[in-house]
Structure formats: C-alpha cells, structure tokens
Structure 1
C-alpha cells in the first residue's frame, strides 16, 4: 500500500512541503505520495485521519494551535510551545503532535547571530510565532511580541521608536505581510532606525526577497527568508514520521 503524507492547512495551493516531499520521493524512489489537505474548517480533520494509508501530516496556518485538541499526545516541546506542525500516526493509531518549526528556525538563525544580539522583536502572534519565541528562549535571546492588538506585555507597532529599535537588534516577521501575490506589503515598523547591527528574519519564502527584507538590506542589516527554516523543519518531519 502506498504511504500517504500531507499538509493540513487552509488556502495552501502554494505549499512548499508538497514540492519538497514529491521531489524527495521521486529522487529516492519511495512508494510514497504527498498531498495537500486544504480544509475550510478544522472539523474536517476527522475525515482526513480516517484514511488508513496516511502515515504522517504537516500542519500550517491556521491550524497549528486548533489541531492540538484532536491529538492523543504531544511531545514535550510541542506541549511547551502550544502549537503543532508535525503529526505522527503511531502504530496503535494514536496521533502524536510535534513541533519542528522551532528546530528549523534555530538552525537557520544561528549563522546570522552575533554577540550584540540580546533582544528580539517578534512581529505577529500566530502559531508560528510561538515556536519562534520558544527557540529564542533556548538561545538566551529576550523577546517581545509586536501586535496590532497588543496584550499588556506586548508592544503595538506605534510603540516602536528609535530607542526600542536600537535595543532590539533581531526582528522576525511572523506575519503573512509580503507573501506572494501581495509582495508590496510589509510590516509597519520604523525602518529609518535600522542599522548594519540588525538582523531581519522573514518566515516568508515566496518571494525569495520580501519588501521587509529589502528595506532591512537598504540599511545594511543582515537578512534571511524562511526557506532554509522550511527545508530543515521538513527534514525533521521525515525523521519524526520514521522514528
């Protein structure tokens, strides 16, 4: 029986994962298939998991948090983060949630860091941002969330001034602003205070260079898109499914 893997999300025609795994299966001559499960609502997840040929799933926006209540177990990291992007179908048919986003982000970020980076701004507060916060904690980098509707311990975009931008040298875009086809969009931060001491990390990978990255680069900042993070988290997913 052909093994089926796939991606759970909404409006995921653009999916990186499908291309990555389809190429992998072809290259390694594996009798596997990778499908997109584009769900209008999370309740349809129950229908997806009824297929006995499914061996593992990735999870993307907007279900990384919502899917948790449908799982039997969470590994320690996913439990701490509160978001899942990998589901393993155990031999006893139980579903275990994992998070490989934090691993992918950590390994992709490390080469960009320098000793002066002690604080980070996380733009956006969705499921992906939780994994980023967890990774920064593990790296010993203090972080603050920036939101359009901030809680008491978050910053609003209008709070960002020269002092804050000087203090927070790492800026991570976890919002969808700038994703293809809306490539002119970008997070509304004060780019005039960015210097060559800053690092801009964008979780978006399409386009390869977002407007956010371009604006950082113009000021001399080091920039990276989310492609390397995606590749690393996908490789980790495969390890988890086959462990």
Structure 2
C-alpha cells in the first residue's frame, strides 16, 4: 500500500519534472510547515546555476518513515534532510553512516550514491559550530548547559566536546534519554536547569518554543541563576522560526543571544555540498533566509 509520504514524493516529482527539474531533494519531518529549508536551498540552486535541481518539504509520520526512506531509492532522489522527530530513528533504514554521524547517533542529511546506497551524515554539529563562530563566540573552556537530549542535542554536545567545552550539563524531561546522551559524551545530567550554575553558554536544543504559545523552557529567574558568575554568557536557541521566550528573557537581561537561523544556514550549506559536490552559495542562502524570517 502506498503511504501518504510516498504519494507526496511522487506528486512532487511529477510537478518538478513538468518544470524541467530532474534532481529532487527535500526534507522529511513532522511538522515541516514552518521550515525555511526549501526557500534557502532553492535559492542556492538558482544562484549556482543548477536549474535542474529542486527542494521540497514532506511531512512524514513516524510510522511511515521506513517507506519514505525506501522511496528515496525507488524514485531516485538525490538525497534529503531529516528533521524532528526522525534524526535517530532514520539510522536503521540507511545503508551506512559517515564516521561522525555514527559517533553522534543522529542523522540530518542523507545522500544517495551512484550505486543507489543511502549514506547518512550529520551537518548539525558543523552548522552549530559555524553559527557560534559567526557570532564571535568560542565554547573553548566554557561550562555549558544543553536543554534537550534528542538528535539535535546529540549533535550539539558532540560539537561542544570537539571544541573544548570544559563541562557540559544536559537537562531533559526524559531523564533516561539525558543519561544516555551524557554517558556517550562524558557530560553530566542535571534534573533542573538551575543546577548548571556558571554556564557561559546556554543552549536550547529541544523543540520547545517552536510553536506560538509554547512556555519558556526556563524561567528568567533560572536563567539569571545559571548565567551568574559566567563572563559574557551567551544564549543560543536552535529554534529559528520565531523569537522564543528564552531569547526574550535573554534580551531583557542584557545577555548575548541568537536564534537558530545561523545554524540552519550553515548546516544547509554543508548538506548542499554533500549532495552536489559544489561550494555552497552562502550569501544567496543567507539572503533567502533573511527575506523569509
């Protein structure tokens, strides 16, 4: 039986081919209505003179993930991005992982090889570090609080370890998931964000804040306690589609802060290069995001 996801892929392919687009890539997730990736990647293809390429968003239920991944091979897609909630679950359906994705245990980019095999990558980690670099912030020697323990959080923690963070505390509502993440990378678990006192970097790597009406992932009081004693504390929220309550609190407190648009840009540029083998037109991608944000 054809799933909703595969039907959507077939429809997108038909539409793209009618417009002379023979190379399809996209994003699998749920939800995907907020994603800016199609605008960013299609601007990249246009700037690079790759008129045959097209990027589309596909809402994929967890129960349909296996069929959706199989459709990449069946319909000869060049690859896809993977977003919440599939970054860990998708691994079982892939032929192989690159070394960094295997170490992290989460995939956000899939490329289809000439032999038809599907290889999983993680560009979230590199995108996160490039976003911090763009903000002029280095995690080297810093204490860090990471809120969340899913696929994005795993990439963030791995990235921070590679850049010399002195201590990483993980806080998540699912204590067992937080414990597994902490054990994998030599981090520690805290049952409350306010226990991570002195954090020079506070990261929201959870989906909290993505939807209008979401509560603050931590109160202003907790943010004040956590950042106390840290010189030039920085708050980074991976959510990019709106200014979250966390970022509003950081702004009111005079803390340096940024939303996830920079990470989206840089992880997307890395994915573009994996799929196409060409340098990403970063300025065109950045302009597309700024026009949509």
Partner of residue 224, structure 1: 258
SS at match of 2:84: coil
CA distance in structure 2 between the aligned counterparts of 1:17 and 1:34, rounded to whole angstroms: 8
Does structure 1 retain, via aligned residues, the 8 Å contact 2:140–2:163?
no
The answer for the alignment partner of 1:156 in structure 2 is 191
| Match among 272, 275, 292 for residue 238 of structure 1 | 272
TM superposition score normalised by structure 2: 0.75
TM-score, normalization by structure 1: 0.89
Alpha-carbon distance, 1:146 to partner: 0.5
**Secondary structure of 2:175's partner?**
coil
- Match 2:205 to one of 174, 179, 182: 174
Instruction: Provide the rounded CA distance (Å) in 1 between the counterparts of 2:254 and 2:163.
Output: 24
Please list the CA deviations of residues 175-225 of structure 1 after superposition, one character each: whole Å capped at 9, or x if unmatched.
Answer: 11211323x521125023245631100001111x32101111222211011
Higher share in strand: 1
Unaligned runs of 5+ in 2: 1-20, 180-187, 278-293
Gap change, CA 1:219 and 1:211, over 3 Å in 2: same
Q: Which of the numbers 199, 203, 206 marks the counterpart of 2:238?
A: 203
Matched with 2:37 is 17
Q: Name the SS for the 2:120 alignment partner.
A: strand
CA RMSD of aligned residues (A): 2.0
- Is residue 92 of structure 2 the alignment partner of residue 62 of structure 1? no
**What corresponds to 2:52 in structure 1?**
31
Aligned-partner SS, 2:209: coil
CA shift, 1:59, in A, is: 0.5
Q: Secondary structure at the match of 2:78?
A: strand
Corresponding pairs, count? 237
Question: How far has the Cα of 1:53 moved from its partner?
Answer: 3.7
Q: State the 1:116 CA deviation.
A: 8.3
- 1:185 equivalent in structure 2: 215
Partner of 1:7: 27
User: What corresponds to 2:15 in structure 1?
Assistant: none
Shift of 1:56: 1.1
Q: Equivalent residue for 1:139?
A: 163
User: Structure 1: how far apart are the matches of 2:224 and 2:266?
Assistant: 33
Moved more, 46-55 or 219-228: 46-55
Give the SS at the match of 1:175. Answer: coil
Larger fraction in helix: 2
Matches within 5 A, 1:64-79: 64-79=87-102
Return 5+ residue gaps in structure 1 as ranges.
Answer: none
For 1:124-173, what per-residue CA distance to the aligned partner results, in whole angstroms no more than 9, with x for missing partners? 1010000001100011002111112324541112x624xx322x221000
